[in-house]
Amino acid sequence: MANSKTLGESLRRHGVTRRGFLKFCSATASLMALPPTMVPAIAAALERAKRPSVIWLSFQECTGCTESLTRSHAPTVESLIFDHVSLDYHHTLQVASGEAAEAAREAAMHENQGGYLLVVDGSIPLADPGYSTIAGISNVDMLRETAAGAAAIIAVGTCAAFGGLPKADPNPTGAVPVSEIIRDKPIVNVSGCPPIPVVITGVLAHFLTFGALPELDRYGRPMVFYGQSIHDRCYRRPFYDKGLFAETFDDEGARKGWCLYKMGCKGPMTYNACATAKWNNGTGWPVEAGHGCLGCSEPDFWDAGGFYNALSIPTSDVTGTVVTGAVAGAALGAAAALLNRGTQGEAREKHATVTVDDLEKGV
């Protein structure tokens, strides 16, 4: 397998310039909310890092997670990392098929015992293991076998992280997330339907740089990306605070870009980096396109449904006062924020900034 080369060597061989590499390191530091002083350390660590062997298993899923990653265009942060890992097994992307494909998975496991990363998308059916098989092996058996020698597991997408759509009521396949099968390995959940590509690669970059997974929230998600709600980072928030809401998709409020809370936006209850990392190479995200957040990175988001119903159930704030509408949303959001932090401490909220010229001088 390709572990003999370092990431730095691989990047150079593919024509990535020093400037481009430092730009990537700066963006990575910013993504991980690390101070600019960490950029030289990130550059040095990534330069030396062996190309990690990655085995990617897809179970009950729609291929949306892989689509999300491959829709990115070079030279983005995600392509820089993902083009240079040793992706030794991936149903959708690999050239090999049949016995050759399975031989590649077994070789990667054997040659990198204890050192490879296992990425999983999709949930695992337990009602009958025969519901989903690969090369005649049930998903649950393949997961157990492949996880045994992995250094860590990244559960990509809401299906792998929480069960997702396959687990929605009445859950006919008995779908479960990775964490209900594997209990003895570090697991990081990168939820979202699909997840944001730079979040996937940000976790990989963190692992390569520090040799460990990032700090996680109570749902096993990286705090640096999931530590704040969509609502807290939404550019429409000033309209929410002023009580200015769109009521339909084509009213005056919608045309003026007012808050989408009354149209069912789940931003106050949803933790993800969509508002800052954005989608499609940073060009936009659902709320910017005029549609409320569906809450796809939260557990059981599908069963929660009500995508177009406002979070306006009368409720009580912390003092016991009955509140309604937008005020209830704020209370729910604040309560969810406290819960999300769990025992992991405060989210690091300041994003570092540093110029490439600074780096070229200092690194």
Which residue ranges make up the annotated binding site for [3Fe-4S] cluster? 274, 293, 296
Query: CB–CB of 202/224 below 8 Å?
Result: yes
> Least distance in Å: CB of 14 to ligand SF4?
39
Q: Please give the Cα distance from 269 to 310 (Å, whole number).
A: 12
Contact positions with ligand SF4 (CB under 6 A) in 92-111? none
Q: Which residues are annotated as a binding site?
A: 62, 65, 159, 193, 231, 234, 259, 265, 274, 293, 296
Alpha-carbon distance of 336 to 293, in angstroms, equals 16
Question: Cα angle vertex 84, ends 5, 186, to 5°?
Answer: 95
Residue 231: count other Cβ atoms within 10 Å of its Cβ.
29
Residue 180 in 3-state DSSP? helix
Q: Does 246 bind ligand SF4 (CB under 6 A)?
A: no
| CB neighbour burial string for 280-304, b if at least 16 within 10 angstroms, e if fewer | eeeeebbbbeebbbbbbbbbebbee
- List, as residue ranges, the binding site for [4Fe-4S] cluster: 62, 65, 159, 193, 231, 234, 259, 265
Cβ distance to ligand SF4 smaller for residue 29 or 287: 287
Residue (56 or 285) nearer to ligand SF4, CB:
285
- What is the spatial distance between Cα 11 and Cα 23, in angstroms, rounded to a whole number? 13
240 binds ligand SF4 (CB under 6 A): yes
If one asks whether residue 268 binds ligand SF4 (CB under 6 A), the answer comes out as: yes
CB 14 within 8 A of CB 356: no
261 lies in the site for ligand SF4, by CB under 6 A:
yes
Nearer to ligand SF4, 92 or 309 (CB): 309
Cβ–Cβ < 8 Å for 214, 203? yes
CB of 245 to ligand SF4, least distance (A): 8
Q: With respect to ligand SF4, which residue has the nearer C-beta, 162 or 285? A: 285
- To the nearest whole angstrom, how small is the minimum distance from the Cβ of residue 197 to ligand SF4? 21
Q: Is residue 260 within the footprint of ligand SF4 (CB under 6 A)?
A: yes
Write down the H helix ranges in the chain: 7-13, 18-31, 39-48, 64-70, 77-82, 98-111, 139-147, 157-162, 197-210, 223-226, 230-233, 237-241, 252-255, 274-277, 301-304, 325-341, 356-362
Closer residue to ligand SF4 (CB): 84 or 231: 231
Pick the closer one to ligand SF4 by CB: 215 or 317. 317
> What is the x/- site pattern for ligand SF4, positions 279-318, by CB under 6 A?
--------x----xx-------------------------
Site residues (vs ligand SF4, CB under 6 A):
230-231, 234, 236-237, 240, 259-261, 265, 267-268, 287, 292-293
